[in-house]
Amino acid sequence: METDERMARYRSALEFAERQVANLIERHADFFPIYTRGGKWRHEGELWTDWTGGFLAGMMWQFHRRTGDAVWRERAEHYSRLLEHRQFDRNVHDLGFIFLNTYGPWYRLTGDERLRQVLIQAGRTLALRFRERGRYLCSFVGPESLFIDIMMNVPIIFLAANETDDSTLRDIATAHCRTTRDRIVRPDGSTAHEGLFDTDTGEFLRESTHQGLAPDSAWARGLAWSLYGYDQCFALTGNEEFLEVSERNARYWIDHLPADHVPYWDFRADRTQPPPWGAQRESSAGAIAACGLLDLATHARDPALAATCRSTALAMLDALVDPEYLAVQTPGWEGILKHGVYHTAKNLGVDESVMWGEYFFVEALTKVVVDGR
Ligand code: GLY
């Protein structure tokens, strides 16, 4: 696709995203939905865990960054403030998701010390999940569990460590990255969703999954969290151990992506079988990986890999702005991006819009349109 045409399509997708978010907050003020049901945000479906508030508020910060519109800033500040108490939340492993996309941009814009303290506290709170036996941050399901998703949250601990020069925080985050790499990132660059440990001895027991096809499969979103998370950890530390993992994840992603550049929900799903366990797309994983690949393209040590990261990210975004995925021609659909999946086994948000898919889609397009990535 020619650059001008691409930019026009990306801008138009971002304008559609603004309209959908404005409609959502007008219809359901101060409500933080996680996934749609039949395309509608308000329903009685289970949350599983409450981890996505930062994505709705984060989109508002992205809209403000692109447009400079004071109304988006006002809304972004309001929705961010509603999340402030979560800086002390010890029940989730998701404090990076909640604060990096909200207080992060707000602090960068203002340099306000109060906002910096919220970010530092969120990093400190997340670090309290560290298990010395096994050397990992445990997931919300229990002390024995390490999730690949946590890789996308660890950056808030490195951020807090950098802001305070606290070597204990840095050591915890580094240990978690190494344990994740050694236990659930495989030599071929694919990832398991979960690692289980013996809590008495810290011994690694086995791979496992909640949201993927099987313990030994390659859940697409988990791989995307790893790819983008390790690259962010490299950006915050300069530690090439983390860059190597992100590069390994990227090679697996690029080599296994279908020809139309939109991932299936699990790279090992049998695509001859019907959805949701077989040929089910997962647009949110594509959006997350697009962000990661755009950033990795600026860090990868091999120029050929860097170029492929960028071209793959753009090809994925070109596919996602098509009305097959962008809900622009689906009347009554309240989300932005269709064909995301939250939790197949629990039948939550399957083939729906999911709030993190919305956010990372907006973030990726904004990286291209505003930053010229
Ligand atoms: N639990 C995070 C995710 O669904 O990716």
Q: Are 39 and 352 in contact (CB under 8 A)?
A: yes
pLDDT tens-digit readout, 307-342: 999 999 999 999 999 999 999 999 999 999 999 999
Predicted pLDDT at 47 = 85
- The predicted model gives 200-214 an average pLDDT of 98
Contacts of 318 (CB under 8 A, 6+ apart): 1, 6, 9, 261
Q: Are 291 and 360 in contact (CB under 8 A)?
A: yes
- The predicted model gives 331-357 an average pLDDT of 97
Angstrom distance (rounded) from CA 168 to CA 178: 15
Q: Residue 326: beta bridge partners? A: 337
- Band of the pLDDT at 48, cuts 50, 70, 90? confident
- Element (DSSP H or E) covering residue 23: helix 3-27
Q: Are 346 and 48 in contact (CB under 8 A)?
A: yes
pLDDT at 30 over 80: yes
Q: By residue range, what is the domain housing residue 304? A: 3-371
pLDDT at 25 over 90: yes
Q: Is 244 exposed, middle or buried (0-12, 13-18, 19+ CB in 10 A)?
A: middle
- Band of the pLDDT at 46, cuts 50, 70, 90? confident
Work out how many domains the chain is built from and give that number.
1
Contacts of 208 (CB under 8 A, 6+ apart): 145, 192, 193, 194, 195, 196, 215
Asked if residue 367 has its Cβ within 6 Å of ligand 1, the reply is: no
- The predicted model gives 188-202 an average pLDDT of 98
Angstrom distance (rounded) from CA 80 to CA 358: 17
Angstrom distance (rounded) from CA 109 to CA 334: 30
pLDDT at 344 over 90: yes
- Is 0.75 surpassed by the pTM of this model? yes
**Tokens matching residue 258:** 């279908």
Tell which one of 50, 141, 211 to mutate to probe ligand 1, the residue whose CB is within 8 A of the most ligand atoms: 211
The number of angstroms, rounded, from the C-alpha of 88 to the middle of its chain's C-alpha atoms is 21
**Tokens matching residue 281:** 């797309």
Tell which one of 151, 219, 221, 360 to mutate to probe ligand 1, the residue whose CB is within 8 A of the most ligand atoms: 221
Q: Residue 341: beta bridge partners? A: 350
Nearest Cα neighbor of 367 from 328, 317, 320, 321 is: 317
Asked if residue 94 has its Cβ within 6 Å of ligand 1, the reply is: no
Kindly report the CATH number assigned to the domain that includes residue 352: 1.50.10.10
Asked if residue 221 has its Cβ within 6 Å of ligand 1, the reply is: yes
3-state SS assignment for residue 73: helix
Contacts of 109 (CB under 8 A, 6+ apart): none
pLDDT tens-digit readout, 176-193: 999 999 999 999 999 999
Angstrom distance (rounded) from CA 264 to CA 252: 14
Predicted pLDDT at 23 = 98
Angstrom distance (rounded) from CA 303 to CA 307: 6
pLDDT tens-digit readout, 76-116: 999 999 999 999 999 999 999 999 999 999 999 999 999 99
DSSP 8-state symbol, 322: S
pLDDT at 202 over 90: yes
Tell me the CA–centroid distance for residue 342 and ligand 1, in Å.
7
The mean pLDDT of the chain is 97
Angstrom distance (rounded) from CA 33 to CA 52: 8
Predicted pLDDT at 44 = 82
